[in-house]
Chains A and B, each alone.
Chain A
Amino acid sequence: MRILAFLSLILVLTSCDDDDAYLVELNLNFEHHVDNEVLVFNEINYENNSDEFYSISELKYIISNIQLQNKNGNWFSYPVEDSYFLINAGVEESLIVNLSGIPNGNYQNIRFGFGVDQSNYPLNGVNNFVPTAEENDMLWSWSAGYIFLKFEGEYQLVDPIAPENFLYHVGSHGQNLDNYRTVELAVDLDLNADTQLDISADVSKIFDATHQMSLQQKSDIQIDPENAPKIADNVVEMFQIQMN
Chain B
Amino acid sequence: MCRALYVLCLLFLLVACGSDDSSYTDIEDENRVLDFPQPDFFPSPTYDLEANPPTEKGFELGKKLFYDGRLSSTGVISCGFCHIQEFSFTHHTHIVSHGVNGALGTRNAQPLMNLAYMEDFSWDGSAAHLDAFPIIPITTDVEMNESVGNVIEKLKADEDYQSLFAAAFENENIDADNMFKALSQFLIMMVSADTKYDKVMQGNAVFSEEEASGKAVFEAKCASCHSGILFTDQSYRNNGLPINPEYNDIGRERVTGESDDRYKFKVPTLRNIALTYPYMHDGRFQTLSEVLNHYDSGMDHTENLDPIFINDNEIGIPLSDTEKSQLLAFLQSLTDDNFILDQRFSEF
A-to-B contact residues, CB < 8 Å: 1-2, 4-5, 8-9, 11-12, 15-16, 18, 81, 118, 121-123, 125-128, 130-132, 134-135, 139, 141-145, 173-177, 222-225, 228
Is the beta-carbon distance between B256 and A223 smaller than 8 angstroms? Answer: yes
Q: Can you name 7 extra interface pairs (CB under 8 A) apart from A134-B148, A142-B126, A175-B125?
A: A2-B16, A2-B20, A5-B17, A16-B2, A127-B177, A175-B120, A225-B258
**B147 in contact (CB, < 8 A):** yes
Contact bitstring B16-43, A, C-beta under 8 A = 1, else 0: 1101100000000000000000000000
> Binary interface profile of B, 304-347, with partner A (CB < 8 Å = 1, else 0)?
00000000000000000000000000000000000000000000
Q: Using Cβ atoms and an 8 Å threshold, which residues of chain B touch A134?
A: 139, 147-149
Interface of B is mostly: helix
> Nearest Cβ in chain B — how far from A144, in angstroms?
4
Interface size class of B (residues with CB under 8 A): 35 or more
Q: Which residues of B contact A12 (CB under 8 A)?
A: 6, 9-10, 13
Q: Is there an interface contact between A143 and B139, defined as CB atoms closer than 8 Å? A: no
C-alpha gap A123/B49 in the complex (Å): 12
Number of A-B contacts (CB under 8 A): 128
Contacts of B254 in A (CB 8 A): 142-143, 223
Which residues of B does A touch, CB under 8 Å?
A: 2-3, 5-6, 9-10, 12-13, 16-17, 19-20, 48, 51, 119-120, 124-129, 131-133, 135-136, 139-140, 147-149, 152, 175-177, 180, 254-258
* A131/B147 contact (C-beta < 8 A), A5-B16, A122-B129, A143-B136 known: yes
Interchain CB contact under 8 A, B6 and A128 = no
Contacts of A223 in B (CB 8 A): 254-257
Query: Could you pull out 10 A-B pairs where Cβ atoms are within 8 angstroms?
Result: A5-B13, A11-B9, A15-B9, A118-B128, A131-B147, A131-B148, A131-B149, A139-B139, A144-B128, A174-B127
Chain B residues near A1 (CB-CB < 8 A): 16, 19-20
Name which residue of chain A comes closest to B132, CB basis. Answer: A144
Taking CB atoms, residues of chain A closer than 8 Å to B10 are 8, 12
A225 to B124 Cα, complex, angstroms: 16
Cα–Cα distance between A157 and B64 once the two chains are bound (Å): 57
Interchain nearest-CB distance for A3 vs B (Å): 10
